[in-house]
Structure 1
Amino acid sequence: MGKEMHYGDDYKYIPATSAGNGVGIEVLPDLFSFTVQIVNVFLVGNPETEDFVLVDAGMPKSADKIISVTEERFGTNCRPKAIILTHGHFDHVGAIIELVDHWNIPVYAHELELPFLTGKESYPEPDPTVEGGIIAKISPLFPNEPIDLGHHLNAIPDDGTIPHMPDYKWIHTPGHTPGHISLFREKDKTLIAGDAFVTVKQDSLYSVLTQAQEISGPPRYLTSDWKSAKASVRKLEALKPSVAVTGHGTALSGEKLSRGLEKLANNFDSIAVPDYGRYVDGRLH
């Protein structure tokens, strides 16, 4: 493993799972979603070529599974051109050092996310006091310290382009984290939303376990800027995506997506924002 890369001292396996664990779904011919315990990673690119990327990097200790799934789809000894991060929370970078070391590939993230990925700054502490279910109560167990990707990490181009994803543009969707991005392909209105919104009620243990579909705001216990989170959801709703994949939950498309996202955008305060919690300052408008 590259000596210049390291996880925070609090990195560890998290024994959480869901009904989707280990399930891979071809959402589109060039968009494959795979669930690692409670979070999704995405392989973007046509399996008939070797030109593809990995979006996000799963839970801690999941590298072997992600490599195996990647080789099943793209062939033995294949490797993505890059890893694109929607953000740097532990469940989206959990296996990234092992993956970078195995594939020797670059990583791209928004400039505002770089301090959390270069060992310089920890994210705000998870909020176990937030209104919600048991997942919020155990959130202090989640790794929070910054990781360091060394020279493998790059700021994503500031012109909206994404390396090795020529049809996509990135959109700054802060709130859940300062440098959170979503990825959008205009020609068929495909959206990779990260945790800007999710399609499962992530603070509910029952919903996480069963993966019951419900368009929700970003996970409450790790969201520290609700005003920005609301603006980001409205920005994504205005794109009128036809299909969306998110960091948690299953893919949605068509009317179910459009109606659910419109409802969330129009009623964000009552649906997404908790009534109380460390980062909640009254209702947002």
Structure 2
Amino acid sequence: MPHNPLHNQHMPLTSLKSGTCFEPVADVEGLIVQIVNVYFVGRADNPHDWVLIDAGMPDSQKQIVRAAETRYGKQARPRAIILTHGHFDHVGSAVELAEHWDVPVYAHREEMPFLTGERHYPYPEPQVEGGLVARLSRFFPSQPIELRPRIETLPEDGSVPAMPGWRWIHTPGHTPGHVSFFREADRAMIVGDAFVTVRQDELYEVLTQHQELNGPPRYFTADWDAARDSVRRLAALDPSVAMTGHGLPMDGEALGTGLKTLADDFDLLARPRGTRH
């Protein structure tokens, strides 16, 4: 098995809801892995036609495999793993899962250097405006992982492998190659960290998963102008439900009103003061 530099880099942050599954729409199930969500996209009654969105925290592969087998049956195997971006909490177990299932991994071309061992992400900003999690971010891994030869770029036409009806949308800012996913038929949206529904830099909110619509995690976002433009691009699609990388799914009036407010007042509500970016 290829070496995963994130192996044994266990983060002691764990939500009280870790291990909980939720089903915001009939063919998507989310799993909370410590402080981050992964998503199984595909109906539970079709065990041979599903994909995994994101790969959770380091050393969480057994938990993810167990949840997949609970949903799809023993020997469940996705058609692909698809990444919103390459931060440690979204790719922590990607190497092990891709090897275990023998499947390809897809990401945006601008995210490739961070997934092929070539570039580090910018170091977190522990001094950024925010709470204890922001201050703890100095200990978060920023090194790239190596997913070759399994890593492939998402199709340039916006289609998503093994996810018919969905399209990927380039939503940079949090990282250069961050992507979100949108399905026109029901306006369902999977957004990674383009925006989140928990105050990710505050420890109490992370532990309890208190729902509150926010911009991307402040300590790890590199380009705030691009992040603002990405939120506005997603808001313009008027999603019916947003499934985020951190926090519980949001829908209805809370999502519609909250996302419009975030898009309109992003610089005031989301952009931190005193950031080096």
After TM superposition, the score normalised by the length of structure 1 is 0.95
Q: What residue number does 1:250 align with?
A: 248
Q: Secondary structure at the match of 1:245?
A: strand
Shift in Å at residue 9 of structure 1? 6.7
2:191 and 2:197 map into 1 onto residues whose CA distance is 10
Paired residues for 1:1-285 under 5 Å: 1=1, 5-8=2-5, 12-49=9-46, 50-279=48-277
Q: Secondary structure at the match of 1:150?
A: coil
Shift in Å at residue 275 of structure 1? 1.3
CA contact (8 A) 1:10 1:144 kept: no
Structure 1 vs Structure 2 CA RMSD = 1.0
Query: Unaligned stretches of 5+ in structure 2?
Result: none
2:276 and 2:138 map into 1 onto residues whose CA distance is 13
After superposition, the C-alpha distances for 1:184-234 in whole angstroms (9 at most, x for unaligned) are 000100000000000001011111011111100000000010000000000
Q: Secondary structure at the match of 2:192?
A: coil
After superposition, the C-alpha distances for 1:232-269 in whole angstroms (9 at most, x for unaligned) are 00000000000110000001111111011011001101
2:86 and 2:212 map into 1 onto residues whose CA distance is 24
CA contact (8 A) 1:129 1:278 kept: no
Shift in Å at residue 277 of structure 1? 1.9
Q: Structure 1: which amino acid aligns with 2:17?
A: G
Query: Unaligned stretches of 5+ in structure 1?
Result: 280-285
| Identity across the alignment (%) | 54
Q: What residue number does 1:282 align with?
A: none
Give the 3 Å change call, closer, same or farther, for CA 205–9 of structure 1 in structure 2.
closer
2:157 and 2:8 map into 1 onto residues whose CA distance is 33
1:276 and 1:108 map into 2 onto residues whose CA distance is 34
Q: Secondary structure at the match of 2:198?
A: coil
CA contact (8 A) 1:11 1:143 kept: no
After TM superposition, the score normalised by the length of structure 2 is 0.98
1:246 and 1:61 map into 2 onto residues whose CA distance is 21
1:11 and 1:90 map into 2 onto residues whose CA distance is 12
Shift in Å at residue 19 of structure 1? 2.3
